[in-house]
């Protein structure tokens, strides 16, 4: 992504922390006006916006529950009023259940599906008509390698991410030819969420990866920038695995 991005508008859901923050900051450095979505942590969203501006970009923050049709609609209207038509969408908001399958109940399963699946569906549906009408748009949905591999301890999360992968394929066929829809399936990425993990478990995951390290948020943002760019103009309906090679293991 080079000068083609100058002045374009991107909405990043879950943009206040982790992978979403890295994506927002990377877009800002390329002259994109970034709409940073948050739901509970306004200070984190403001920190992301500060980093975007420090990198030479601009944007604004928007509070919305991405699993609420009303709130998503209001957010998209506000973004387009403040910054202009949305050219790019990255859906990065998501949650994961705690505990193994013995602790998984219907309420928890539904909550994970609500945030991860409906929270992807609603922003995509809110921006797609404008993109189709303008004859230009690129959407990237963050899923996970958990949607491709067996994950017995996070059944709800794994199911939700598999749904996102299928959603990407179907939307790409529906919205083309001028609107592209792709996905990213990250492996384990070092964020604040991994700080509490057992160091031995992390070390084992590093050894599983062909590149012998865990991912960092910039690994994902680099892949997202490529898929959003005109250089990926012949790519749609795909989910890129960005995991250092771990998903190829049995």
Q: Report the CATH number at residue 34.
A: 3.40.50.720
Catalytic residue numbers, as ranges: 157
Q: What is the pLDDT of residues 192-204, one digit of tens each?
A: 777 777 888 889 8
Q: Determine the average pLDDT of the residues in 146-162.
A: 92
Residue 152: per-residue pLDDT: 84
End-to-end CA distance of the chain: 35
Q: What is the domain count for the chain?
A: 1
Please give the backbone phi and psi of residue 44, each rounded to the nearest 5 degrees, phi first.
-65, -40
CA gap 72, 77 in Å, rounded = 9
Is the C-alpha dihedral spanning 148, 151, 152, 155 positive or negative?
A: negative
Please give the backbone phi and psi of residue 77, each rounded to the nearest 5 degrees, phi first.
-60, -45
| Domain hosting residue 160, numbered range | 3-242
Q: Which DSSP state fits 31?
A: T
User: Coil, strand, or helix at residue 135?
Assistant: coil
Q: How far, rounded to the nearest angstrom, does the alpha carbon of residue 8 sit from its chain's CA centroid?
A: 18
Q: What is the pLDDT of residues 76-90, one digit of tens each?
A: 999 999 999 999 999
160 found inside a domain: yes
Neighbours of 135 (CB within 10 A): 9
Q: Is 58 exposed, middle or buried (0-12, 13-18, 19+ CB in 10 A)?
A: middle
Tokens representing 11 are 């909405």
Residue 33: per-residue pLDDT: 97
248 found inside a domain: no
Is the C-alpha dihedral spanning 68, 74, 77, 83 positive or negative?
A: negative
Residue 59 banded pLDDT, cuts 50, 70, 90: very high
Residue 39 has pLDDT above 90, yes or no: yes
Residue 98 banded pLDDT, cuts 50, 70, 90: confident
Is the C-alpha dihedral spanning 212, 217, 220, 226 positive or negative?
A: negative
Tokens representing 224 are 């997202």
247 found inside a domain: no
Residue 100: per-residue pLDDT: 84
CA gap 48, 90 in Å, rounded = 15
Alpha carbon distances (Å) from 151 to 15, 88, 133: 26, 31, 40
């Amino acid at each position: 992504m080079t000068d083609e991005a100058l002045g374009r508008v991107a909405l990043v859901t879950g943009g206040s922390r982790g992978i979403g923050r890295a994506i927002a900051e990377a877009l800002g450095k390329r002259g994109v006006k970034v709409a940073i979505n948050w739901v509970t942590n306004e200070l984190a969203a403001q920190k992301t916006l500060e980093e975007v501006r420090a990198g030479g970009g601009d944007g604004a923050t928007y509070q919305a529950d991405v699993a609420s049709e009303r709130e998503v609609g209001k957010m998209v209207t506000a973004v387009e009023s403040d910054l202009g038509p949305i050219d790019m969408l990255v859906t990065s908001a998501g949650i994961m259940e705690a505990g193994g399958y013995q602790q998984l109940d219907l309420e928890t399963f539904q909550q994970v599906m609500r945030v991860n699946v409906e929270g992807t569906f609603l922003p995509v549906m809110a921006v797609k008509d404008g993109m189709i009408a303008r004859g230009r748009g690129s959407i990237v949905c963050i899923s996970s390698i958990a949607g491709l591999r067996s994950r017995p301890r996070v059944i709800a999360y794994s199911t939700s991410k598999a749904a996102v992968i299928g959603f990407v394929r179907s939307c790409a066929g529906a919205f083309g030819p001028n609107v592209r829809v792709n996905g990213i399936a990250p492996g384990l990425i070092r964020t604040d969420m991994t700080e509490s993990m057992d160091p031995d478990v992390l070390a084992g995951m590093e050894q599983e990866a062909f590149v012998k390290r865990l991912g960092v948020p910039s690994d994902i943002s680099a892949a997202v920038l490529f898929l959003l760019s005109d250089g990926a103009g012949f790519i749609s309906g795909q989910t890129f695995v960005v995991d250092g090679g771990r998903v190829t293991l049995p």
